[in-house]
Structures are given as structure tokens and as C-alpha cells.
Structure 1
Amino acid sequence: MKIAVFGSSGFIGDNLVKSLQQNFKIQEVSLRNSLWRNELNEEIEIFINLVGKAHDHEGVATEKDYYYANVELAQQVFEVFKKSKAKLFIHISSLAALEEFESDKPLDETNNCNPISFYGKSKREAEEWLLKQNLPNDKKLVIIRPPMVHGPGDKGNLGLLYKIISKGIPYPLASFNNERSFVSIDNFNFFIQQIIQKSNKLENGIYHIADDEPIATNDIIEVIKKVENLKIPNINLPKFLIKGLAKLGDILPFPLNTKKLKKLTNNLLVSNQKIKTALEIDKLPLTAEEGLTKTIKSFKK
């Protein structure tokens, strides 16, 4: 089976390609190459679209930048898919298309969408456009919404948290006992492999993927301290004090603001039951804690 992976240069794409190459013939496609349409193998059977722009931590990207990367490029790839011999289009969206900050109950695919950032709104717009397209009966569209994906090589928030704690700095937000859903890169790759192998069991539409168990931020801290063999205590600063400092960070150059605080302390839970039921998955390769420990150990290296 031949698979084209679009946008394979990032953390997720690089890991996914290495995983798929064990069982399939992979063509990596960069849309920066103006000739990509002409160079696409005519025998490709599956398109996997990872092209897009993620969160802009420096705050320089515009709404237009996000729309182009997350909507227009997805449209271009999908139009080529419709004219090709390929039968399956897997589009990697994001939980941000549904919710970005808070959910105390596990979110499923029937929840109303509430994207807030340019990133989340553009991801949702791409989903809406794709779902409106007419497809022949022999072609299928599967849209995947992962929460934060982590693993070796990850340069996201987990890495930043590790840098702080591994230096012996006590975690100051221990009074917020929140839980969040993640998906390790191993489980992410497993879901994609299962979709490829059992796509006949899936209907066109959106599916959430995530580790089976959520992880509390305080538990992440404990894993980091265990890997680093640290005995440092956590600091339970009063919530009102932390929230006050975050509001101060909204107007002054302070490392914490209300947006960052929400991401660090709110619950954000995801249900993966729909896709597990459809694909008859009983157990994922790694538990949430096993995946997290593997990622943290990679930072240590």
C-alpha cells in the first residue's frame, strides 16, 4: 500500500512517517515544492494531511496566516485527492477546533464547537469545508481531533515544564488540581495505523483520539521528579494570588497571564470511545503515564 504524507517535517509527521514505513511505502510531500502535484505518485492509495500552522507562541502570526496554512492548503490537498485514485483521506485537525481551554466532562464528537484563537477557528473552518464536500461512494474522509500530542522530540509545553522542574524549581501551581487529556505519539501512530487497516469500519466524519486516561498536572510534576530523582516540594500558593498575578501579566511583561494560567490549570478532557468502538480497540499500546514517562525520559537525554 502506498501512502502520501503531507506536512511530514514536523514533530508529529516525522514520527508518523517512521512508524508507517515499517509496513507501507511512504511518499513525503512538501507543499513548499511548487511541483508537488506533478511529482505525486499516481498509485497513492491514502492521503494523510498534517499540513498546517500550530500555535504561535511569539504572537506574530496573523489571522490570514492561519487561514492560509490550515484552510487553503487543506483545500488544495483535498481537491487533488478527489481527482486521484486514492480512496482514503485522513485529515489531522485539532481539539482546538472544538474547545481550547476547559471541559470538566470528556468531550465527544457531538459537543458544540467553541474555538477561540485564530488557530482553533481556522482548524474548525477546514473541518466544516471538508465535511461539505461531495465524495464518490468509493472515497472516504476521516477527520482526526487529537489533544496535545507528546513524545521524544516534542518541543511543546511539556518540555518547558520539564526545564523548570528539572532545575530544582518548586512547582508553584499545586493548589490547582486539574486533569487534561493527552495522546502520546506512540498511541497517535497506533490510531492512524488502525484507521488505515480498518477504514471500512469507519463512516465519513470526525473522530477524537486520546490516551485512555487523563493526567493531572501535579502527576506530571511527580513523573518529572521521579525521572530526575528530585525531592523538591510543590508550592500551594493561594488561587486568588495566582489569578491576581496572571491578570497583572495581561498588562505587564510577566511570565504568567490569564490565558497561560487557564491552559495550565483548567480541566480539558476528551473521550476516545467513538473511534475505539468503531475500530474494536480494547487497549492502547501505552497508558497515559507510560507515554508521559517515555517523553520525560527523552528530555533527560
Structure 2
Amino acid sequence: MKVLVLGGDSGFIGGHLSRKLKDPFQCKFVSMRDLSWMNDNFNANCVINLVGKAHDFTGKAAEEDFFYANFELAKKAFQLFVSSQANVFIHISSLAAIEEVESSMSLSENADYNSVSPYGKSKQAAEEWLMQQQLPPNKKLIILRPPMVHGAGDKGNLNQLYKLVSKGIPYPLVRFKNKRSFLSIDNFCFFIEQILLQHEKMGTGIYHLADDETLSSNEIVNVMKQETGLKVPCFPLPKHIIRWLSKLGDHSRALPLNTWRLKKLTSNLVVSNKKIKLTLAIQRLPKTAKQGLRETIRSFKQGH
């Protein structure tokens, strides 16, 4: 099976997929910035769209930057797919398209859109546009919504939290109890592999990806402490003081916590992966949530 991966020539997820997707797949990882690969007559059976813009810890990215990378280029990728011989288009969206901060229930694929950031709104816009398109005969659209994907090379919020813990800074969020869904990069690659092998079982539509278990922020910090061997003290400040400090952080980048990051660290956000597991008859994923987390933390440790 020939697989064309758009936006997979660089980046965290593309790098892992290039190492994981071996036989029976013949994969080509290309850039949307240089379309010279279109002259190669690769004739892919499946197109995976990884093109997008995710994290921006500098605060310099404008809303139009997110919409160009996550919406306009998604449209361009889909149009390339329609004009090709490929019959499956896998678009990597994000849970942020429907929810970014908190949910009191396990989110299924039919949950209402509630994106709030430029990133989430741009992912939502791409999903809505794609689902409105008329597919040519014998072509299929599969949209995947993962929560935070982590692993070696990840530069996201998990890496930011690790940097704080590894410096021995007392952890102040102990009083917050939460549950969040994550997805280890190994489990992500496993899902992609199974979709490629069994895509005939899947209909056009949206599917959620996630580890089978949830993790709390306290569990994550404990694993970080275990893997680093650091005796990081806990400093359980009252919640109202934490919230006040996070508001100060909204006005100063010198502070490690703001209201957005506090919500991301302490709120509940759980994803149901039942639909795709039932569709593909997946009994269990290769890694538990804690196994995947431990491997990610070890990679952070080796990288520092």
C-alpha cells in the first residue's frame, strides 16, 4: 500500500510515523511548501494530512497564521487528494476542534463544537469544510481527533511541565484533582497502522483517538519525580491563591502559570475512543497511559 504523508517531512508526529510505518506500506513524506514531488508519479492509495500549526509558546503567532496552516492548507491537501488516484484521505485534526479546556463528560465524536483559541477554531473550520465536501465515487474521508500527543521530541505543555519539575521548583497544584486523556506517540502510530490495514471497515466521518486510561496532573508529576529521581517538594497552595497567581501570569510572561495553562493542567478533559476501537476490533493498545508517559519523560531526561 502506498501512503503519501503531507507535512510529514519534518515535525514531531511525522518523524515518528516515518520510523514506525514499515512493511507492508510504502510511504512518502513530503512538504506542502515544495510541490515538486507531484512529478514523481507516486500514485498513492492513501493520503495522510499532517500539515498544521500547533504550539506557540512565544505568543507571536497571529490568528491568521493558525487559519492558514490548519484551514487553508487542509483545503489544499484535500484538493490534491481529490485530483489523485488515492481513495482514502486521513486528516489529522485535534480534540481542540470541539473542546480545549474542560468537559464534565467523556467526549464522543458527536459532541458540540466549543473551540475557543485560534488553534482550536482553525481546526474546527477545517473539519466543517471537509465534512461539507462532495466526495467523488470510491473516495473516503477519515478525520482523526487526538488529544495531546506526547513522546520523544514533543515540545508541548508536557515538556514545559517537565522543565519546571526538573528544576526542583515546588509543585503547587496538589489540591487540584482532575482526569485528562492523552495519547502516546506509539499508540498514535498504532492507530494509524490499523486504519491503513483496515480502512475498508471505516466509513467517512470523525473518529476520536486516545489512550485507554486517563491521567491526573498529580500522577504526571509523580511519574516525573520517579523518573528524574528528584525530591521535588509539594507546596499545596489553596486553590484561590493559585487562581489569583495565574491571573497575574496573564500579564507577565516571567511567571510560569497563567489562567489558560492552569486550566490545561487542572481541568477534566476525557475522550472516548470506543468508536474506533469497536470499528477496528482493537482489544487493547500497545501502551497503557502510564507506560507511554514514562517513555516520554525518559526521552525528556535524555534530551536534557
TM over 0.5: yes
Aligned residues: 300
In structure 1, the residue matched to 2:32 is 31
Report the counterpart of residue 258 of structure 1 in structure 2: 259
Q: CA–CA distance in 2 between the matches of 1:67 and 1:167?
A: 36
| 1:110-154: CA deviation from partner (whole Å, max 9, x where unpaired) | 110101111111101111111111113311110000000001111
Shift of 1:198: 0.7
Name the structure 1 match of 2:290.
289
Tell me the residue number matched to 2:248: 248
Contact 1:42 1:84 in 2 (8 A): no
Q: Which residue of 2 aligns with 1:190?
A: 190
Q: d(CA) in 2 for partners of 1:137 and 1:193? A: 24
Question: How far apart in 1 are the matches of 2:231 and 2:52?
Answer: 41
The residue that corresponds to 1:164 in the other structure is: 164
Alignment of 1:1-301 (within 5 A): 1-8=1-8, 9-39=10-40, 41-253=41-253, 254-301=255-302
Distance 1:170 1:255, change over 3 A: closer
SS for the counterpart of 2:171 is coil
**Identity in percent:** 56
Measured in 1, the distance between the counterparts of 2:162 and 2:258 equals: 20
Q: In the aligned structure 2, how far is the partner of 1:274 from the partner of 1:296?
A: 29
> What is the distance in 1 between the residues matched to 2:119 and 2:165?
29
Quote the offset at 1:36 in angstroms. Answer: 4.1
Structure 2 contact 168–233 (Cα < 8 Å) conserved: no
Following TM superposition, by how much is the alpha carbon of 1:22 offset from its aligned partner in structure 2, in angstroms? 4.3
Over the aligned positions, Cα root-mean-square deviation in angstroms equals: 1.3
Q: Once the 2 structures are TM-superposed, how far is the Cα of residue 160 of structure 1 from its aligned partner?
A: 1.8
Given that 1:145 and 1:207 are in contact with CA atoms closer than 8 Å, whether structure 2 keeps it comes out as: yes
Question: TM-score scaled by structure 2?
Answer: 0.95
- Match for 2:279: what amino acid? A
Extract unaligned runs of 5+ from structure 1: none
What is the DSSP-based 3-state SS (H/G/I as helix, E as strand, rest coil) of the residue aligned with 2:270?
strand
Please say if residues 97 and 115 of structure 1, whose CA atoms lie closer than 8 Å, have aligned partners that are also in contact.
yes
| Structure 2 CA distance for partners of 1:123 and 1:298, relative to 1, 3 Å | same
Equivalent pair of 1:96/1:119 in contact (CA under 8 Å): yes
Q: 2:238 and 2:23 mapped to 1: Cα distance?
A: 50
Quote the offset at 1:34 in angstroms. 4.2
47-56 or 21-30, which moves further after superposition? 21-30
Q: Which moved more, 1:156-165 or 1:280-289?
A: 156-165
- SS of residue in 2 equivalent to 1:268: coil
TM value normalised by structure 1: 0.96
1:185-243 Cα offsets, whole Å, 9 max, x none, are: 00000000111111111110100000000101100111111112233332210000011
Moved more, 210-219 or 76-85: 76-85
Gaps of 5+ in 2: none
In structure 2, C-alpha distance between the alignment counterparts of 1:174 and 1:96, rounded to whole Å:
25
Preserved contact between residue 2 and residue 24 of structure 1 (Cα < 8 Å): yes
Q: Is the 8 A contact 2:55 2:156 kept in 1?
A: no
Mapped contact 1:37–1:80 kept (Cα < 8 A): no
CA contact (8 A) 1:182 1:288 kept: yes
SS at match of 1:141: strand
